[in-house]
A and B are shown apart, each in its own frame.
Chain A
Amino acid sequence: MTMLGDRQQLAYIAAQAADARVNVELETEGMTLNIGPQHPATHGTLRIIARLDGEQVVWAEPSAGYMHRGYEKLTEVRTYPQVTALVNRIDWLGSFANEVPFILAAEKLMGVEAPARAQHIRTILFELSRIANVSLFLGDLGVQLGAVTPVFFAFRDREYVLNLIEAATGGRFHPNFDRIGGLKDDLPAGFIDETRMVMKKLRTFCDQIEDLLFGNEIFQSRTRGIGVIPKDVALQYGLSGANLRASGVDWDLRRDQELPMAWNKADWKVWTHPDGDSFARCWVRLQEVRESTKIVDQLLDTIPSGPVMAKVPKIIKVPEGEAWVSTENPLGEMGYYVVSQGDQGPFRVKIRSASFNNISIVPWLLKGVYVPDIITILASLYFILGDIDR
């Protein structure tokens, strides 16, 4: 299976390397281009060291760690509520989604389960943060490829979602709303009606982006066939989320996993794309935003009544044990391996964040592409720096 992937990659290089071969014959000198740490295309401080031959990449390597904040170590000296506040900051665009797997892992250790209403609201907020995150991706994609307008549309419509999250949780970016055993508070009055309206706006936004970007012939020529990841290579590099689904792997933890969340109560579809190129990755994400609005709409109709907090002690001590919970976050699979020794804080937490694995494919993927395609590929892989460096 690996052979196939390598062969495809080689064919891809060969197809693009026609003029590079001339250069080799003329014995031109290569050039090392540092993309980053401060570069607009890396939205953060990722550094990509690329060895160029003309405009073609011979060899590239991502160098992460410029924003390392040591969360795994910090979790060892913080209590569970404090860790919840900290892990918010890992993927700062979809913060609420970062809390959920950690809280679920802690709940698993304690043997409590959130009430049905809390599970429902959690799922709604989870999908809202996914929408906020991925809609910004759709706008940012435009900027990376040179279209200035989509990003403003994205910020405009993400604002509605952020307002919703703020109205419910109090925090625009870092909700810190999840608690072990449920939620901090119930939804404020009027939240449901407003969310319905916002979901309509978001669907209009998706249509606009589709007309403005995805239907655009220039966009298609920039992304189609660029950065192809075959199915087996994607699996080998441990890609997850939309990057994996775009390679034709029908894999979604929301559907494939039994978690105390409400995804299975809604009727939705996992989108995949057979191509595995940049266009497929972007397209799958666009469809995911649409699916998320549908999930939210359906869940809003069926919120059960009841409390939002299970019976848990005021000072939380998690019993000894180990638990692994991962969820399908906006960027891909995000998981926490929590080791507890019965204290107020975890003994050790291993964070598996999606972007770190997603960019591990970059050296393989960037071989042989042109400099402009580096940007296309990085944009379509979609990473958040906080998610890489933690």
Chain B
Amino acid sequence: MAKPKVPGLFKGLGVTFGTLMRTATEGSNTIQYPHEKETPPIRARGVIALHEGNCTSCMLCARSCPDWCIYIEGHKELAPPRRAGGAPRKVNKLDRFDIDYALCMYCGICVEVCPFDALFWSPEYEYSEPRIADLLHDMTKLGEWMETVPEAPELEAGADKKGKK
């Protein structure tokens, strides 16, 4: 290299001073969190939302959870038959659907195995609690998260679009 050799010590000083000037003129790379917020990506696994109507309490999610943080209780109910004169149907009714976020490790297996589209990921993340027991979200709370569930993102060019939701 033809450039005169600058001692590494001065180069280092230059880097820090350059960053100092850049931060002063262009602003920092950090965000003042409670005042301004970053929007997480659409796919971000923030919290699990439950669409209660779709759940049949089949227990697949509870069984596939690696740390067993989903608690489901249900009972069978007789619903009026679809066609007149038919036998009454047996319907699984959900009594309890709790997710313990103190245990959850956000792997997303439950959302994936759910065959009836009852569980969704929402990128919402602000649900910390002063008491660890409050991290056990019950059915109504999980249902409230449904409002925050976004549409699935567009896929990158070249993706095989059919067969995906």
Contact partner of B158 (CB less than 8 A), chosen from A117, A172, A212, is A117
The answer to whether B8 has its CB under 8 Å from any CB of chain A is yes
Chain B residues whose C-beta falls within 8 Å of the C-beta of A166 in the assembled complex: 40-41, 43-44
Chain A residues whose C-beta falls within 8 Å of the C-beta of B112 in the assembled complex: 81, 184
Chain A residues whose C-beta falls within 8 Å of the C-beta of B160 in the assembled complex: 117, 186, 305-308
Q: Kindly provide the distance from the CB of B44 to the nearest chain A CB, expressed in whole angstroms.
A: 6
B15 and A211 within 8 A (CB): yes
Given A167-B43, A170-B108, are A212 and B156 neighbors across the interface (CB < 8 Å)?
A: no
A213 and B105 within 8 A (CB): no
Chain A residues whose C-beta falls within 8 Å of the C-beta of B43 in the assembled complex: 166-170, 185, 188
The answer to whether B109 has its CB under 8 Å from any CB of chain A is yes
Complex CA gap A297/B95 in Å reads: 51
A211 and B44 within 8 A (CB): no
Give B103-124 interface residues, CB cut-off 8 Å to A.
105-109, 112-113, 121
Give A205-221 interface residues, CB cut-off 8 Å to B.
208, 211-220
Chain B residues whose C-beta falls within 8 Å of the C-beta of A187 in the assembled complex: 155-156, 159
Complex CA gap A81/B154 in Å reads: 25
Give A179-209 interface residues, CB cut-off 8 Å to B.
184-192, 208
List 6 A-B pairs, Cβ < 8 Å: A170-B41, A171-B108, A186-B155, A186-B156, A189-B156, A211-B11
| Minimum-distance CB pairs A-B, first 8 | A305-B158, A215-B8, A85-B107, A189-B154, A186-B159, A187-B156, A307-B160, A167-B41
14 extra interface residue pairs, beta carbon distance < 8 Å, beyond A174-B105, A174-B107, A308-B159: A117-B158, A117-B160, A163-B41, A170-B44, A176-B109, A184-B112, A188-B41, A189-B157, A192-B157, A211-B8, A212-B16, A219-B8, A305-B157, A308-B160
| Interface residues, chain A, with chain B CB atoms under 8 Å away | 78-79, 81-82, 85-86, 88, 117, 149, 153, 156, 159, 163, 166-172, 174, 176, 184-192, 208, 211-220, 303-308
